[in-house]
Chain A
Amino acid sequence: MTGFIQLLVSGVATGCIFGLVGLCFVFIYQSSKVVNFAQGEFVMAGALLGVWFMWSQDLPFWVALPAVAILAGGIGLIMNYGVLAPLRARRAPVFATITGTLAVGMIVTNLTLSRAGPFLLTLDPVFGREPIRVADVAISTQQLLLVIATLVIVLVFWMFLSRTPTGVALRATGHNPTAASLMGVRVSSMIALSVVISTAVSGIAGLLITPITGAQVNMGLPLAMNGFIAGIIGGFGSPFGAVFGGLFIGVASAMFAGYVEPRFTDVAVFGFMLVVLLLRPTGLFAEFER
């Protein structure tokens, strides 16, 4: 029984990361119909920037956190005005925007590689290495921080999107850009905003996960894959569906790794996505827009 709960705990923790990545990239998609194929690289950038801030520069966590968010958001801003906006202006087909973001991912990876090197770097957990023990089950403080942070982020997102004028404007932009602009919404600014928020949150996620999984230049792709699958399972219409999808994948793959075979987890997650697509092509929660 304790084994099961232990698996559940680690599953929920990884699920939170997948959920956050999924949330970020469904969020961009909702506002601008752009899929950011470089989302994983932003997580990686946040992680390695975090290492730089906290390890080399000896900054405390509470300073590194906003710093990482600002820098990751900044890179996102560059991507938006350097790649996404020009492609949108030229009415580029789907393929072009996809490959454009992939190219950005390659560039970010290469630049980070030349600065940070290929090795796995790590950080100490923010609240110390001593795990919390609840009846034979060990929960690391970082895992707890991660889960709480995810809850906070989801809550903030929800409040922002439903209660603030800007948030509503963002949703309108995604739903119907023409109508939104007729109502006085600056579509291009909204898109830029959604990109910046999404990349900043990804960076934060990277910083949070580093004490658990370490930070490495090639960590982006597996995270992005799981985040994407979380988004597909949850249904692209809903960022919160993506969070749920992420938790689902996290727990399912932890259980699979623990009880069946660790090496098959990627296939299992992919297979699970296929099953969901067969049964509910729109994802578990929301409507696909075709």
Chain B
Amino acid sequence: MSLTGAAKSVPLIAAFVLALSPYWWANGYQLSVATLAMEYVIMGLGLNLIFGHTGRVSFGHSGFFGVGAYTLALTQTEWDLPPLVAVVLALGATALVATAVGIPILRLRGHYLALGTLAFGFVVLSMIGKFSNITGGSDGLRVPTSNLFGLEPRNYIYIGYVVVACLTLYLMSKVASSRFGRALVAIREDEEAARSLGVQVELYVIVAFVASAVLFAAAGVLHAYSFGTLAPELVDLRLNILLLLIVIVGGLGNNYGVALAAVLLAVLPQYLIDFEERETLYYGFALLAILILVPRGLGEASRGLALRVARIVQAREAA
């Protein structure tokens, strides 16, 4: 069931307006939650490209967030570069790293790929810690930001977040219905069959990998400007796991679903009480519960449910 013509742009415009709405009703705290939601949308869509569409799992993409964020921060603290140059540099550096890491690592599959990407994330984390003289280590790194028109960065950068998020959503939808996007799905379903149909598997997978890494870096850049401080916790494995969950819950390959799941999973935890040091414990148990109860994700579960409902309706109509 797809929309045609002008109707196609309605969901996107609705999303854009909805995302901007916090300016009218949100207080400072709610705005930061909304910012987090936008971050998850951007990163979720990025991960959806490599994991959802192409079927290559990555446990290290949070590392690219770190590379983008810290590169940007360094361009501002160590060398005083104009923002536009800094952003291009940060994104470009991430693309380079993603290509260098991606080419060998994407030869792995399944568990091995998970491990390899996990190792990458760990290396990024380790580098941030070891080079604490320039990265600030666990103390954090401050990014010099300035107020624009009397607005704090957190406020006016939010517009940037919304624009980037909606732009990403738009682009990803275009990609999904493009030849490239469909080739990616073909690669996920049956790599050999795709190859025999002339799909350049290795090339497409690398492109998807690098593109998703750049999206993560974009989120990192925005984060650096918006929040003003960076800390190694940002590159945590848990962020990556959460994003993988978002992609699964949203439905592998389903861009709007992933965006919705991203917003949900950013907003919902705020309603839970802060458990402090037990947080990891409960998080671990919650993860296990989700995995055991719905191992194929809510997308599959609801699709199964929808199918069953449809069959019941059909049977009723036939009778």
A interface residues with partner B (beta carbon < 8 Å): 29, 33, 35, 37, 83, 86-87, 90-96, 98-100, 102-107, 109-111, 113-114, 221-222, 225, 228-229, 231-232, 236, 263-264, 266-267, 270, 273-275, 277-278, 281, 288, 290
Q: Nearest 10 A-B pairs (CB), nearest first?
A: A92-B295, A106-B284, A110-B281, A107-B284, A103-B287, A263-B130, A35-B111, A277-B104, A266-B126, A103-B284
Given contacts A95-B244, A102-B237, A107-B284, contact A236 B112 (CB under 8 A): yes
- Residue contact A102 to B107, C-beta cutoff 8 Å: no
B292 CB-CB contact with A under 8 Å: yes
Least distance between A153 CB and chain B CB atoms (Å) = 22
Q: Which residue of A lies closest to B111 (CB)?
A: A35
Q: List 11 A-B contacts (CB under 8 A).
A: A35-B115, A104-B284, A106-B287, A222-B122, A228-B115, A232-B115, A232-B116, A266-B126, A270-B119, A273-B116, A277-B105
- Residue contact A232 to B295, C-beta cutoff 8 Å: no
B225 CB-CB contact with A under 8 Å: no
- Residue contact B112 to A94, C-beta cutoff 8 Å: no
- Residue contact B127 to A267, C-beta cutoff 8 Å: yes
> What is the bound-complex CA distance between A177 and B104, given in angstroms?
31
B115 contacts across to A, CB distance below 8 A: 35, 228, 231-232
Contact of A225 among B105, B118, B284 (CB under 8 A): B118
B277 contacts across to A, CB distance below 8 A: 110, 113-114
- Residue contact B103 to A102, C-beta cutoff 8 Å: no
- Residue contact B123 to A95, C-beta cutoff 8 Å: no
- Residue contact A94 to B114, C-beta cutoff 8 Å: yes
B101 contacts across to A, CB distance below 8 A: 274
- Residue contact A277 to B119, C-beta cutoff 8 Å: no
Contact of A107 among B57, B245, B285 (CB under 8 A): B285
A277 contacts across to B, CB distance below 8 A: 104-105, 107-108, 116
Interface residues of B in 74-124 (CB under 8 A from A): 100-101, 103-105, 107-112, 114-116, 118-120, 122-123
B interface residues with partner A (beta carbon < 8 Å): 57, 59, 100-101, 103-105, 107-112, 114-116, 118-120, 122-123, 126-127, 130-131, 237, 241, 244-245, 248, 277-278, 280-281, 283-285, 287-288, 291-292, 295-296
Most buried by A among B111, B131, B244: B111
- Residue contact A232 to B112, C-beta cutoff 8 Å: yes
- Residue contact A107 to B103, C-beta cutoff 8 Å: no
- Residue contact A110 to B127, C-beta cutoff 8 Å: no
B244 contacts across to A, CB distance below 8 A: 95, 99
B116 contacts across to A, CB distance below 8 A: 232, 273, 277
> What is the bound-complex CA distance between A113 and B298, given in angstroms?
33
> What is the bound-complex CA distance between A275 and B116, given in angstroms?
12
B112 contacts across to A, CB distance below 8 A: 232, 236, 288
- Residue contact B291 to A87, C-beta cutoff 8 Å: yes
A267 contacts across to B, CB distance below 8 A: 123, 126-127
Contact of B123 among A109, A228, A270 (CB under 8 A): A270
A225 contacts across to B, CB distance below 8 A: 118-119, 122
> What is the bound-complex CA distance between A236 and B110, given in angstroms?
13
Least distance between A252 CB and chain B CB atoms (Å) = 15
Given contacts A104-B284, A110-B278, contact A96 B119 (CB under 8 A): no
Q: Which residue of B lies closest to A91 (CB)?
A: B295
Q: Which residue of A lies closest to B130 (CB)?
A: A263
B104 contacts across to A, CB distance below 8 A: 274-275, 277-278
Contact of B57 among A95, A110, A111, A278 (CB under 8 A): A95
Most buried by B among A91, A92, A222: A92
> What is the bound-complex CA distance between A106 and B123, given in angstroms?
19
